[in-house]
Amino acid sequence: MAGVKLVLVGSCRGASDEARVQELRNLATSLHLADSVEFILNQPYSVVKEWFGRASVGLHTMWNEHFGIGVVEMMAAGLVTVAHNSGGPKADIIVPLAGQTTGYLASTAEEYAGTLYDALTMNEQSLAQIRNDPRKSSERFSDEVLSTLFQRAV
């Protein structure tokens, strides 16, 4: 899989996040992967959207995410999305839509690796479907839909 690059996009909320990023940079260097890993940190949403537009796969690893708006954003961008098999992504977001897969869930390093390999080696027809179905599914979380649901509930 020549040409594959891991781009980590996100924000650092403080010293502990910055320390974690440095650990990841050091790990990439020690594994001789520094040229294949890039960190995009603390950027405006327009930059995040640009990266989503260039990416193939979206990876979200947070355990027990309460909702997972980042997961919804990756799906809306048409990324093959892989999220942790817990919390909001498991309960509400990466769920079948009309019987079609909207993304993948993983818990272990082996599950993430296998799913990423599958996503990166998928045939074009399957890839087109797994990009389109999640886009449709993400519309469930649009401002318009959520506003309508809220108004009905009140």
**Six-digit token pair at 35?**
């040229």
Measured from the Cβ of residue 113, the count of other Cβ atoms closer than 10 Å reads 11
The pLDDT tens digits of the residues spanning 3-57 come to: 889 999 999 999 999 999 999 999 999 999 999 999 999 999 999 999 999 999 9
Q: What is the pLDDT of residues 71-130, one digit of tens each?
A: 999 999 999 999 999 999 999 999 988 888 889 999 999 999 999 999 999 999 988 888
Q: How far apart are CA 33 and CA 11, in angstroms?
A: 22
Distance in angstroms (rounded) separating the CA atoms of residues 129 and 48 = 23
For residues 72 and 19, give the distance between their C-alpha atoms in angstroms, rounded to a whole number. 27
Query: Other C-beta atoms within 10 Å of 36: how many?
Result: 13
Q: In this predicted structure, what is the pLDDT of residue 35?
A: 95
The predicted structure's pLDDT at residue 131: 85
- Read off the pTM: 0.84
Strand partners, 59: 82
